[in-house]
Each structure stands twice: as structure tokens, then as C-alpha cells.
Amino acid sequence: MATTAPEPTYHPHVPGHLLWDNDFNDFCHEGDDPHVAAARLIGQPPVILGRSVSFGRPAWILTNHAAMEQAFLSPHIFSNQRGGPGAGALGETAFRMIPVELDPPEHGKYRRILHPYFTPQSTRRLDGMVQETCDALIGQFAGKGGCEFIADFGSRLPNLVFLRMMGLPEDMLDQFLVWEKGMIHGKDDATRTQSTQAVLGYLGQFIAEQRKAPGTELMHLILNGEVDGKPMRALDVLGTVFLLYVGGLDTVYSSLGFIFNHLARDPALQQRLRNHPADMPKAVDEFTRAFPVARPTRTVAQDCEFLGAPLRKGDLAVLPTYIAGRDPAVYADPHRIDIDRKARSITFATGPHLCLGIHLAKREIRTALEGFLQRFRDIRIPAGETWEYHTGGVLGVDRLPLEWRVG
């Protein structure tokens, strides 16, 4: 007699063909390439219910580019209030990461405050600072013939850029790196919450001092920002500064990690980019297309049917952009890196929450690539060594040993 596996009992209203009885993070960790592993979901129905997705809880998983694009553009169905990146982890119910944990129209009132700082033109004014930061970091290991890319460069670059944008003391870098490790890699909820609270405590004090005389243009904008004609609440100022910290942290260094992991295995591309520096912007577009790291979370705002899935108010949904970046319906031969393709992507989301730091992030990636490629030949992973990565809310690279010839 044929036996059938018992149907999972969660969400009894969901038809069996939409139930996916797996742990999403484990699934993405199978094999040796998380982007390839995750992309195996393409071809499933566009919206499936995973058994264990977000901190072990079930959530809807959007499984292709078109579905995610539509969801990003439908905030009335896929809400960012709570359930967003910081939900639950901060132990502070009134605390919101601004503007990412708000929905339109409230969202736009807060995003407006930051927007002028992050336009392509404004971001260009940060080029010198990013360049100087990259040069200083590379200078610390340039003579050694190799480095552990993540510890020596990848994690330091976005932290330093944040400290400099905010006017925070740079001798706090090591402390910020420790806090960041606790927040992202903390072994349990208590460690993660403790680290998050330590950062919030420090930033809160810093903001209080800055109120007397903001030290940078960005702090000036934030502290003078008004919503409906009134200054932002103190907790929302903190939520804004904190989001600028976490938003550009493991996203940048993990993207850099995946990109340099590829570069180290593609000597022809290294040479092409050295010989044709004008190709760099399209290389950055292609790299960010192929190596998305974020998996924005949404809370379903109303009972409805979305692309065949019976969503219920309060359900969680995740939009793994690293699946979208490998969708063959949008990108021919999606696992191949081809810097000549026109690579429009949703790596930085689309719609109201389009990443505010997109131009800065691309500048950091470009400057890092130029810095390494101009100084070093034959960048590679040393024989017998390997890279390490993790899956989860953000795909991340933990360790990437590199070596090179100088010249």
C-alpha cells in the first residue's frame, strides 16, 4: 500500500501544492553555492508556504522575479510595519527603523528627509571619502601578499564609511565591529539583543550630543527633519540613524564577499577590468544582479489571494532577492557572470522602499574592485583554502582568504 507523508498541520486553509515542508535556510545552504541552491525554488508556484523560514516560523516565500517585483510594488498587501528586519529583536515595542518599517503614505514623509543626501549627485560628494577609506584599509595589508578579505577589508569598509558619514569617532571602529558581530552572528537571541541594545545606547548618547551642534551634513538633515511640520520623535531619530548603520553593513560586506569570491576564480575577468576600467560600472551592475544578499520580510496586511496563494492578514512573507537575481525568465543563463548583459535587477528592491544607499553601495563596491585590481595581479584563493558563508536574513560571507602578486 502506498504511504503518503502526513500533511503539515500549519495553515490548514493552504492547499497542499503550496506547502513546502522544508527549512529555507538549510535549503539555501545545500551544495557549495547559496545563490545556485536558492534558485532551485524557481519553477515552484510563485508563492509557496515554507515550514521554517523566518526564525523558525512559517512564511510565504516568493519564488521568482516577477512575483517579488509585484510584491515590492504592492505595499497595501505586503506591509513593512513590524515583521520587518528589526521586528522583535530590539525588545522595544515603540522602536521602528525609519523609514523601512513604515508603509506609504507615512513612509514617504520620513524618506523625504534622507533622500536629498542619497541622490546620485549628492552621493558623488562621498566618492573622495570612500576612496580614501578603501586606500587606507588596503594599505594595511598591501605588502603582505594576501589577506582574509572579510575581516581585513569587507567588514571594515562599510563600518568606517558609516562612522565618517555620521561624524562618529573612528577609534570606535573595533567596538562597532564587535557589536556588529554580536548582532549578526550572536549565538542566541539574548546575545543579539544585548549587542543591538549596546549600539542603540551608544547611538542615542551620540545623537543627544549632536543636538547642540550636528557634526556632519547627514546628522544636520536628520536632526532638522520635520514630519507634518514637527521635529521627528527622539525614538524615530534613533531609528533613522540605526537603520543607516544596519542597512549598509552586512549588505555591503556580504555583497563584496560574494563578488570577490567570484573574481578570485575568474582571472580573465580580472584582466578585462584592469585593461578596460570603463567597463567597471557595468561590472558592478552585473555583480549586484548576480549576487543579491537581502531577503526583505513583509507582513500580509489583508486577507487576499495573491498569485494563487490564499494570504491571511498577519502572515509573514519573504522576498529573497537572491532568487530573483537568478531567474532565467529575466536573465538568460542566469548563473553566468556576463558584464555585457543589460542587468536591471531588484537586488536593491523596487517601489517605495528602493534602497536609499544604492548609489553609495555601488560606489563602495566599485572603489573596492578598482583598489584591488589596480594594485594586485592574480588575485586568488590560496591552494587548500576555502571560503565560508552563511544563509539567513541576509546571505553572508564569513571568511574569504585571498592572495595575489603585487604589480
Q: Which residues bind ligand HEM (CB under 6 A)?
A: 80, 99-100, 111, 243-244, 247-248, 251-252, 255, 293-294, 296, 321, 347-349, 353, 355-357, 360-361
Q: Which three three-digit cell numbers place residue 332?
A: 538568460
Considering the complex, what minimum distance in angstroms separates the CB of residue 98 from ligand HEM?
8
DSSP letter assigned to residue 91: S
What would the grid cell of residue 343 be?
A: 542587468
- Least distance in Å: CB of 297 to ligand HEM? 7
Nearer to ligand HEM, 86 or 182 (CB): 86
Nearest approach, Cβ of 3 to ligand HEM (angstroms)?
Answer: 42
Q: How far is the CB of 95 from ligand HEM (least distance, A)?
A: 16
**Residue among 82 and 377 whose Cβ is closer to ligand HEM:** 82
Q: If you ran DSSP here, which 8-state letter would residue 394 be given?
A: B
DSSP annotation of 142 reads G
- Residue 349 C-beta: closest distance to ligand HEM, Å: 4
Q: With 0-12 CB in 10 A as exposed, 13-18 as middle and 19+ as buried, what is 325?
A: buried
For ligand HEM, the closer CB: 14 or 137: 137
Which residue in the block uniquely carries the three cell numbers 505586503? Answer: 78
Find all residues with CB under 8 Å of 56, minimum gap 6, and list them: none
- Which residue, 294 or 379, is less far from ligand HEM as judged by CB? 294
Closer to ligand HEM by Cβ: residue 252 or 300: 252
From first CA to last CA, the distance across the chain in angstroms is 70
SS3 content of the chain, % helix, strand, coil (to 5): 50, 15, 35
Instruction: Yes or no: say if 249 and 327 are a contact pair by the CB < 8 Å rule.
Output: no
Please give the Cα distance from 114 to 239 (Å, whole number): 13
Residue 394: CB minimum distance to ligand HEM, A: 8
Q: What's the closest the beta carbon of residue 359 comes to ligand HEM, in angstroms?
A: 9
Whichever of 252 and 301 has its CB closer to ligand HEM, that residue is 252
To ligand HEM, the closest distance from the beta carbon of 325 in angstroms equals 10
Nearer to ligand HEM, 58 or 248 (CB): 248
For residue 99, is the peptide bond before it cis, meaning its omega torsion is within 30 degrees of 0? Answer: yes
Q: What Å distances lie between residue 223 and 114, 214, 235, CA to CA?
A: 11, 8, 12
Alpha-carbon gap, residue 205 to 216, rounded angstroms: 16
Q: In the complex with ligand HEM, which residue's Cβ is closer, 224 or 386?
A: 224
- What letter does residue 14 receive in the DSSP assignment? S
Cα–Cα nearest to 393, from 89, 102, 155:
89
- To which H or E segment does residue 231 belong? strand 230-231
